[in-house]
Amino acid sequence: MQTTIEVEKLSKSYNGLVAIENVNISISPGMVFGLLGANGAGKSTTIECILGTKKQDSGTVSILGMCPQTDRKKLFEEVGIQFQEANYQDKITVGELCEVTQSLYKTAADYHDLLKQFGLLDKTKSPVSELSGGQRQRLFIILALIPKPKVVFLDELTTGLDAKARRDVWKSLSNLKEKGLTILLTSHFMDEVEVLCDKICILKKGKTVFYGTIAEAIASSPFDKFEDAYLWYSDEEEKENENI
Ligand SMILES: Nc1ncnc2c1ncn2[C@@H]1O[C@H](COP(=O)(O)OP(=O)(O)OP(=O)(O)O)[C@@H](O)[C@H]1O
């Protein structure tokens, strides 16, 4: 079976600063993959190289069998991306933004279904600028799903969402996964990583310090809770303590 995303020995530096080094990732169709690590560990750089918005120094990337540098147009028909921040026209409403997004793609999902699924149907006529942080976050996920992508990139999935909204998002994503969607996500919340991810890669200063399942991550650490294991791999705890 062809992998959805195949990354081999990916490396990139910025003016001599190594951002990622020899990163390998293999994501099968229908898998939810978590790319984890502390701030500055190299997650965004890895994702941007996979999407072709940044050029790696060395290594190879294949996504849906395509090269992100040369097959850019075709790739973006089949890939959904959740943007964290975006500037939209001042008074554009949720419905209008969904329609504009829909019009960019040959085949698109019915955005009303997605608004309903993510609890925003009653906001269709509201200006995007008047949404709460959590509502905006959910809208960005919807925009990523409008192209009916085969694979979706979700960056800091539920940052800013309240407890109920987070669980609703998890449920919706689990449903989409059951329908075969492949998901690559980043998150700083280990509870959601545990619920959603089939496989994870933990980066530390640009290098892979763990690659495998949640159960394997726990088993290869001195801890029996995933969050403790994650902090041990990523050294976030050490850093926090240094700041006290
Ligand atoms: N455009 C850039 N120019 C120079 N250095 C950069 C650039 N982008 C990222 N870096 C550096 O590369 C390293 C990896 O950054 P990256 O944004 O990939 O990390 P991240 O894991 O996504 O972090 P966060 O969780 O904070 O988003 C960091 O040291 C960062 O300062």
The amino acid that residue 159 corresponds to is T
SS (H, E, C) 5-29: EEEEEEEEEECCEEEEEEEEEEECC
Q: Which residues of 98-127 are buried (b: 16+ CB within 10 A; e: fewer)?
A: beebbeebeebbebeebbebbbbeebeeeb
Q: Using an 8 Å Cβ cutoff, are 152 and 63 in contact?
A: no
β-strand partners of 79: 151
d(CA 41, CA 30): 26
User: Residue 244: what pLDDT?
Assistant: 47
Place of tokens 């996964």: 177
**Angle, CA of 233, 238 and 239, to the nearest 5°:** 110
pLDDT-derived band at 31, boundaries 50, 70, 90: very high
pLDDT-derived band at 158, boundaries 50, 70, 90: confident
User: Residue 164: what pLDDT?
Assistant: 84
127 Cα–ligand 1 center, Å? 32
More confident residue, 237 or 112: 112
- Region 99-125 average pLDDT: 92
What CATH architecture is 5-243?
3-Layer(aba) Sandwich (3.40)
205 Cα–ligand 1 center, Å? 10
- pLDDT of residue 98 exceeding 70: yes
User: Each residue of 41-53: pLDDT tens digit?
Assistant: 999 999 999 999 8
d(CA 181, CA 174): 9
- Which of 43, 84, 193 for mutating ligand 1's site (highest number of atoms within 8 Å of CB)? 43
- Which of 45, 153, 207 for mutating ligand 1's site (highest number of atoms within 8 Å of CB)? 45
d(CA 23, CA 166): 29
d(CA 39, CA 42): 8
116 Cα–ligand 1 center, Å? 35
Backbone angles phi, psi at 14, to 5 degrees: -115, 115
Complex ipTM over 0.95: yes
The amino acid that residue 223 corresponds to is F
User: Residue 135: what pLDDT?
Assistant: 86
Chain-centroid distance of CA 14 in Å reads: 22
- Region 151-156 average pLDDT: 90
Q: Which residues lie with the beta carbon below 6 Å from any ligand 1 atom?
A: 14, 17, 19, 37, 39-45
Chain-centroid distance of CA 160 in Å reads: 15
User: Residue 72: what pLDDT?
Assistant: 86
- Region 98-119 average pLDDT: 91
User: Residue 84: what pLDDT?
Assistant: 67
User: Each residue of 167-205: pLDDT tens digit?
Assistant: 888 888 888 888 889 999 999 999 999 999 999 999 999
**Angle, CA of 237, 238 and 243, to the nearest 5°:** 95
Burial tier of 4 (Cβ tally within 10 Å: 0-12, 13-18, 19+): buried
- Which of 10, 11, 12, 17 for mutating ligand 1's site (highest number of atoms within 8 Å of CB)? 17
How many angstroms separate the first and last alpha carbons of the chain?
49
Which atom of ligand 1 sits closest to the CA of residue 203?
A: 21
Which atom of ligand 1 sits closest to the CA of residue 42?
A: 18
Whole-prediction pTM: 0.90
pLDDT-derived band at 4, boundaries 50, 70, 90: very high
- Region 53-77 average pLDDT: 92
- Give the start-to-end residue ranges of the domains of the chain: 5-243
Contacts within 8 Å (CB) and 24+ apart, 222-227: 226/190, 226/193, 226/194, 227/190, 227/191
- Region 67-79 average pLDDT: 89
